Amino acid sequence: MASVEAVFREEHGRLLAALVRRFGDLDLAEEVASEAIEAALARWPVDGVPPKPGAWLMTTARRRAVDRLRRDQAFAARLAVLRVEAERAEPAPAADVDGGLPDERLQLFFTCAHPALAAEDRGALMLRCLAGLSTPEVARAFLVPAETMAKRITRAKKKIRAARIPFRAPGADELPGRLPGVLQVVYSIFTEGYAASSGPRLQRLDLAEEAIRLGRILRRLLPAEREVAGLLALMLLVHARRDARSGPDGEMVLLADQDRGRWDRAMIEEGRDLVTVALTGAPPGPYGVQAAIAALHDEAAGLDTTDWPQIVALYDVLLALAPSPIVTLNRAVAVAMRDGPEAGLALLDELADEPRLRGYHPYPAARADLLSRLGRFSEAAVAYREALELAGTEPERAYLRRRLDAIEE
């Protein structure tokens, strides 16, 4: 049963996208897509799976939609106007010859990640519409009450309908401007799942895996976009370390102390192949470079055999592509590994007045680490305490407390 549901979750996004395209209304599409899937769950075990399951679902959903429109003439008239206007903007695609469903999920990706929607709603909508998660599942993933999540999704859908955010993939000329926004939403789902910003658990595996799933769909839809490959590579190469990242009691284990034997080799392999794609053919984008950095960590047997000069060089590339104080911070830590803690600390101290690092606990934590490696324990203790006050998750705080206790002895 669980596997049947997994199949439907995969099929759901495809079906939904095709219905949105056909009827121009997300609510109607969601309603009849769920009805079609319910019908399939009832019928297929009895009648057998039809030869073209996707087409069966689409036909069933379309019939339900037509019934619904017959019952509600005013709604039908409004949708008809929508359709005419949509045609004005973009002619309908040619019908698929072999009866299979054309994959129209790309349009839906761009709708869900539209910059006119609230940033916090984009990820939720993407999980709902493209990953096929139910609203309570999305709510659990983001650790908010189901009611709150339902309101947020309703608000976002209302804006899509009322402001008429189009279901349209950008043309080749707009793609470079719009694609980073889509990738950002997928990556924010990943990071949200990977390092929960608050609460007792360090990792929420489900969200990270959903983000990877979305990344895989996007990669199939946009095979020529190297940053899509880069993003998927980055997620795989980081997620490959999931089992080693926390100890038996959920405590945080830093890269330096991780049991590298527990890293997922198959996932690293897949990620490395994608890094090659991401870095070949033209200057790399920020996701490709970050993936390359993750790959260097994943390939090393330990910290002392990690290629730190290469990592510092990649951070230099990343800084040129997407300057940010957080990248500068990470580069300083890599420099400390290459040239010693003194050199890293000097770079970190240059960031002392950076407003965007105020309240960012990895900054004092990194300083504390370098200070303690230099034997400057009282300064390190001050920095650890500062980091402790800022850290969001309990495992992070526990880790910092252990470090603080160790240097105070």
Partner 1 sequence: MKYMLLIYAGAADENGGADEGLFEDWMAYDKEVKDAGIFVSGESLADLVTATTVRVDPDGERTVTDGPFAETRELLGGFYVIDVPDLDAALDWAARCPGARGSGAMVVRPVADFGV
Residue 5 touches partner 1, criterion: CB under 8 A: no
Q: How far apart are CB 404 and partner 1 at their closest, in Å?
A: 45
Stretch that binds partner 1, among 79-87, 147-155, 237-245, 306-314 (CB under 8 A): 79-87
Give the nearest distance from C-beta 181 to partner 1 in angstroms.
13
Residue 53 binds partner 1, judged by CB under 8 A: no
Question: Per rule CB under 8 A, is residue 338 in the interface with partner 1?
Answer: no
Contact between 74 and partner 1 (CB under 8 A)?
yes
Using rule CB under 8 A, residue 86 touches partner 1: yes
| Shortest distance in whole angstroms from residue 128 CB to partner 1 | 20
89 lines the binding site for partner 1 (CB under 8 A): yes
81 vs 406, beta carbon nearer partner 1: 81
Does 70 contact partner 1 by CB under 8 A? no
The yes or no reply on residue 266 touching partner 1 (CB under 8 A) is no
Structural tokens at position 226: 């190297």
> Near partner 1 by CB under 8 A, which window of 35-43, 51-59, 82-90, 265-273?
82-90
Burial class (CB in 10 A: 0-12, 13-18, 19+), 78: middle
Q: Which residue stretch of 70-78, 96-104, 200-208, 395-403 sits at the interface with partner 1 (rule: CB under 8 A)? A: 70-78
Binding segment (CB under 8 A) for partner 1, from list 59-67, 77-85, 101-109, 337-345: 77-85
List of residues 6+ apart from 156 with CB closer than 8 A? 117, 118, 121, 122, 124, 125
Query: For residue 143, is it left (φ>0), alpha (ψ between -120 and 50) or beta?
Result: left
Please tell me whether residue 172 binds partner 1 under the rule CB under 8 A: no
Q: Is 83 in the site for partner 1 (CB under 8 A)?
A: no
Least distance from partner 1 to the Cβ atom of residue 203, Å: 37
If the CB atoms of residues 154 and 324 are measured against partner 1, the closer one turns out to be 154
Which residue's CB is nearer to partner 1, number 168 or number 216?
Answer: 168
166 makes contact with partner 1 (CB under 8 A): yes
Burial label for 111, CB within 10 Å (0-12, 13-18, 19+), is buried
Does residue 164 touch partner 1 according to CB under 8 A?
yes
Q: Which of residues 122-161 bind partner 1 (CB under 8 A)?
A: none
- Of 77 and 119, the one with the shorter C-beta distance to partner 1 is 77
State the number of binding residues for partner 1 (CB under 8 A): 16
Which region among 56-64, 76-84, 190-198, 334-342 touches partner 1 (by CB under 8 A)? Answer: 76-84
Report if residue 397 touches partner 1, rule: CB under 8 A: no
- For position 85 contacting partner 1 by CB under 8 A, the verdict is yes
Binding-site ranges for partner 1 (CB under 8 A)? 74, 77-78, 81, 85-86, 88-89, 114, 116, 162-166, 168
